[in-house]
Each structure stands twice: as structure tokens, then as C-alpha cells.
């Protein structure tokens, strides 16, 4: 079984925040792949389904971002899930808007939700980092992540979320590079090929 966690803050006040892109991504995974309805458990909301022949438990911690590890740790202990089977989706300041990167293990890189999960579960889990861009000034980081995505952001945000959900089975199958490539193409589709000129008929 895989435990798939989306990070965010609970409540309507935060629903559209950049910090909540993890919630948005797992909501789309559950919707697109016909998982069960959300229910309260493990200090969060959970949904269940199957992808790539594997059972998935999807979790949105309702503990607020800084305490996400309490919810994640509880779910992992209950189901005896190995950290290598934990996949966490979250916002990444150090990636350009619309970028996605997958990696196993590492530090928190200043992300409080990841720091909390490391404290409760250790560092050896899979991270799906969803780029939200950096405001350019460290003093603007806090208001940036807690501000809503704007209309202009939908150009890349919608295809990013849909691309992650559509191609998530590749990640479950261990095809990290293929997953990243497919999501990149979803966000940056190649321009349409120009129509081929019809072969001129010889009038002679």
C-alpha cells in the first residue's frame, strides 16, 4: 500500500493559497481515478483507491501545515507503511511555476510541512515538488505562499494539477522520469504542426 499525502492548510480561508497546491493535486487524483469519498481519519481526510495494481490511501492532514507529520505518522503506523511507500505532494518555492520534480529523501529545505513529516516519519520518503515560483525577496515568502493563485496562474496551474493526476500511475510504477516528462508536456504542450502544403498539381 502507498500513502499519498497532499500538504495544505484546512479551511475555506486557505483553499486557494499557493501553499495548498498539495491539497489541490490529491483532490484531482481522487476525482480523476474514481477513489472513495473523503472521510475523517488520522487527524485528516482520507480517500482510498487503486492505481497501477497498488492500493492507495490518500491523506490530507487537517492539523495545519506545521503539524502535518502528526497526521502522516499516525496513518503510517496504523497501516504499517514503510517510508519508501510514502509520497508527499507539496509547494516548492525554488522551482519555477508549473515545474515538477520527484526525489527520494533529503532535507526540509525550509518547508515546515516537510520538516514536520521528517520529525515524525524520517526523511526517506518520496517528494513530489510542485513549483510555485519565488517572489524574489525572502521577506515576501510568507505572504507569497499564503496568497491565492491569480487568474493568470491558471494558464499553468490547471494543466499542472491535471497532468499530475493523469500520469500519477507512472509514479506508482516507479517511472519517476517518465512521470516528470509527461507532466512537463501537459504544462508545455508542443506547438501544433503547420498543415502540410498540398502538392501542387501539374496543370500541363
List, by residue number, the catalytic residues.
Answer: 19
The H or E element containing residue 5 is: strand 2-6
User: Taking Cα atoms as reference points, which of 30, 25, 66 lies closest to residue 47?
Assistant: 30
Residue 109 and residue 12: Cα distance in Å, rounded?
Answer: 27
**Integer angstrom CA distances of residue 86 from 79, 128, 189:** 12, 11, 30
Residue 57 bridge partners (DSSP): 3, 48
Q: Report DSSP letters for 33-96, one per residue.
A: TTPPPPEEETTEEEEEEEETTEEEEEEEE-S-GGGHHHHHHHHHHHHT--GGGEEEEEEETTS-
Amino acid at each position: 500500500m502507498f500513502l499519498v499525502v497532499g500538504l495544505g492548510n484546512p479551511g475555506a480561508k486557505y483553499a486557494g493559497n499557493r501553499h495548498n497546491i498539495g491539497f489541490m493535486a490529491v483532490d484531482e487524483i481522487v476525482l480523476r481515478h474514481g477513489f472513495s469519498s473523503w472521510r475523517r481519519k488520522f487527524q485528516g481526510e482520507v480517500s482510498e483507491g487503486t492505481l497501477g495494481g497498488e492500493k492507495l490511501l490518500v491523506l490530507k492532514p487537517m492539523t495545519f501545515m506545521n503539524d502535518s507529520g502528526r497526521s502522516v505518522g499516525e496513518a503510517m503506523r496504523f497501516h504499517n507503511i514503510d517510508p519508501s511507500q510514502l509520497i508527499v505532494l507539496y509547494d516548492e518555492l525554488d522551482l519555477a511555476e508549473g515545474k515538477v520534480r520527484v526525489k527520494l529523501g533529503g532535507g526540509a529545505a525550509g518547508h515546515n510541512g516537510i520538516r514536520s513529516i521528517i520529525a515524525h516519519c524520517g526523511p526517506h520518503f518520496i517528494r513530489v515538488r510542485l513549483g510555485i515560483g519565488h517572489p524574489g525577496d525572502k521577506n515576501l515568502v510568507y505572504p507569497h505562499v499564503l496568497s491565492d493563485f491569480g487568474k493568470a496562474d491558471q494558464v499553468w496551474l490547471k494543466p499542472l494539477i491535471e497532468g499530475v493526476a493523469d500520469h500519477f500511475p507512472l509514479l506508482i510504477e516507479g517511472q519517476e522520469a517518465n512521470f516528470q516528462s509527461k507532466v512537463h508536456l501537459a504544462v508545455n504542450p508542443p506547438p501544433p504542426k503547420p498543415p502540410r502544403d498540398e502538392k501542387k498539381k501539374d496543370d500541363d
